[in-house]
Amino acid sequence: MPGVSAKPIGDLARLAELGRIFARHGAINLGKSLGIAPHSDERIEPEQLRPKSTVALLRDIGPVGVKLGQLLATRGDLFSEEWIDAFASLQDRVEPLPFSLIEPVLVASWGEKWEDEFTAFEREPMASASIAQTYAGTLLDGSTVIVKVRRPGTAARLEADLRLLVRLARVAERRSSDIARYRPVEFLQTFGKNLTREMDLAAEARACERIGGYLETLGAKTPAIHWHLTGLRANVQERLSGIPASQIDQATDTEHNAVFARRYADAVLRMIILNGEFHGDPHPGNVFRIDADQVGFIDFGAISFLSGARRQEIIRLIFGIADEQTEDVADLLLDWAGNPAVDRGQFAIDLDQLIEEFRGTVLSGIEFSVIFDRVFGLLREYRLVLPPDLAILLRTLLTAEGFVRAFAPDYNIAEETKPIVIQLLSERFSLGATRDQLTKLRQRLFGLSASLPDMIDTMTTIARTGAIPVTVDPTSLEQLHRPQQQNQSVKGPVVAALIVSAALLADQSNVLAAIALSLALVALVRKWN
């Protein structure tokens, strides 16, 4: 593999390399359009791109190209099945570097006598990927461990490639409206952040501990980290005992297999919905069956975060499809796509017709992946592009569903999500949480009370003179030219009074505060209806 040197790679030199790679794959016209071959003002034509040739090009680019293709394999909203299958063929397996090139990394990390930390160290790698190689070892205390070592020179090459890819994407967006709709710059920037995080092996170890702490509450296991041997370029972690899920025989012990698979899927869903930080690539090779039915997770290089708002949107999507709430699903998908100028009514009709095919059977076992395939086809038809942060999430959900259904064909992701959502709601609307919110409101009211004397004086002046004193901020005059919001309600004093009362009663009586808040909710429901 090129790039075993840790020296930075010049952008011009790498640009020349990419130009030669494009020429080798017969993509010289595309290279000219992107500025990596002699200049051309030619328009970039998407038909120049073909699945097989594009995959070969990505593979030749190197680790960044391979990982980019793997991520694109999750984007059914962008690419047809032919493209997805081609991208999925990219495997992050490379020829291992000889140990003579790996050992200097260990010396730099642990010192010349690094072998003194081990009673045994296998110099033949267990696995070799584009970023790191893994080895088996035994520590002085007898612990069996996995040693993960970053390949030398990897960081410099990846950083150079990421910079150039973003620059090329900007050129492509300017020269092709068809390519611009895919928002490649935004996509590559998100991809680059995730890849940079993956190169930091200490960050991977920290993620393993953080997410592992949550998984432990579910009965799942993650490797313990040996921090005295863990840093940016190498980490040492417990070697989990058990069977990789990829090696489980589906034909034997079917009952225990189904229990294990359901526990795995439950852990994945709870990571996403309740924890918000989750394993981004829980494929069967990264999952272990420990003892009878315990689930173990390894390799936290790819992780993802979901805000509370995004988690609520995912719940809306799952239940919207399952409960056939077409309008809600349409609104959500269009919001994700940036609310482009499309016929929302027709989009909702087409979506309803799609869901009609599954009506009556969604909750009884239709695979979510099948529904998503159809939804993605509709998104492509309307040229709608989902935000990049959803790519890992969708991959995770579909990976989990595909794996569990192999062992439990009756598994239904919507039904299994319901108790998790109920738990989420119970936590958010518990008495303690509600009391905290009411306390915050009360504090704001007390802050407002400081201005009450001035407010009373002003009201007295108005009552006595019939004139309303007005102070105009010149900087805000421009707001007069903006469209006024419609349907702004000025009603609801009773609701407001009840909420205020609940806030003031929060520290005095939970019962009275709860009654006041309940009455406010009843009033709101009546108002909305």
Report the distance separating Cα 306 and Cα 297, nearest Å: 19
Q: Are residues 443 and 514 in the same domain?
A: yes
- Please tell me the pTM assigned to this model: 0.72
Within-domain flag for 308: no
Within-domain flag for 351: no
Burial, 294: exposed, middle or buried (Cβ in 10 Å; 0-12, 13-18, 19+)? middle
Q: Are residues 139 and 20 in the same domain?
A: no
More confident residue, 340 or 216: 216
Q: Are residues 86 and 107 in the same domain?
A: no
Q: Are residues 181 and 88 in the same domain?
A: yes
Q: Are residues 76 and 208 in the same domain?
A: no
Q: Are residues 17 and 133 in the same domain?
A: no
Domain count, the chain: 3
Q: Are residues 173 and 205 in the same domain?
A: no
Report the distance separating Cα 325 and Cα 317, nearest Å: 9
Q: What is the pLDDT of residue 494?
A: 54
- What does the pLDDT average to over 433-459? 54
* Residue 390 confidence class, pLDDT cut points 50, 70, 90: confident
Report the distance separating Cα 503 and Cα 440, nearest Å: 8
Q: Are residues 166 and 146 in the same domain?
A: no
Within-domain flag for 414: no
Within-domain flag for 452: yes
Query: Which residues touch 337 (CB under 8 Å, ≥6 apart)?
Result: 379, 384, 385, 386
Query: Tens of pLDDT along 102-115?
Result: 999 999 999 999 99
End residue of a domain, out of 216, 239, 262: 239
Report the distance separating Cα 236 and Cα 224, nearest Å: 9
Q: What is the pLDDT of residue 5?
A: 43
Strand-strand pairing, 287-290 and 294-297: antiparallel
Phi, psi angle pair for 288, to nearest 5°: -120, 145
Q: Are residues 33 and 113 in the same domain?
A: no
Within-domain flag for 435: yes
End residue of a domain, out of 178, 212, 239: 239
pLDDT at 377 over 80: yes
Query: Which residues touch 526 (CB under 8 Å, ≥6 apart)?
Result: none
Q: What is the pLDDT of residue 130?
A: 86
Q: Are residues 26 and 59 in the same domain?
A: yes
Share of the chain above pLDDT 70, in %: 72
Cβ 427 vs Cβ 419: under 8 Å: no
Within-domain flag for 385: no
pLDDT at 73 over 60: yes
Within-domain flag for 499: yes
- What does the pLDDT average to over 125-147? 95
Q: Which of 42-56, 65-79, 274-288 has the lowest mean pLDDT?
A: 42-56
Q: Are residues 447 and 524 in the same domain?
A: yes
Q: What is the pLDDT of residue 371?
A: 76
Mean pLDDT, the chain, whole residue set: 78
pLDDT at 463 over 80: no
Question: Could you give the angle at which helices 184-199 and 154-175 cross, rounded to 10 degrees?
Answer: 170
- What does the pLDDT average to over 301-312? 86
Query: Tens of pLDDT along 232-244?
Result: 999 999 999 889 9
Q: Which of 19-23, 97-101, 212-216 has the lowest mean pLDDT?
A: 19-23
Q: What is the pLDDT of residue 312?
A: 82
Q: Are residues 83 and 37 in the same domain?
A: yes
Within-domain flag for 275: no
pLDDT at 210 over 60: yes
Domain that holds residue 500: 430-458+492-529
Cβ 48 vs Cβ 178: under 8 Å: no
End residue of a domain, out of 166, 195, 224: 195
Task: Supply the CATH number for residue 119's domain.
Answer: 3.30.200
Q: What is the pLDDT of residue 488?
A: 39
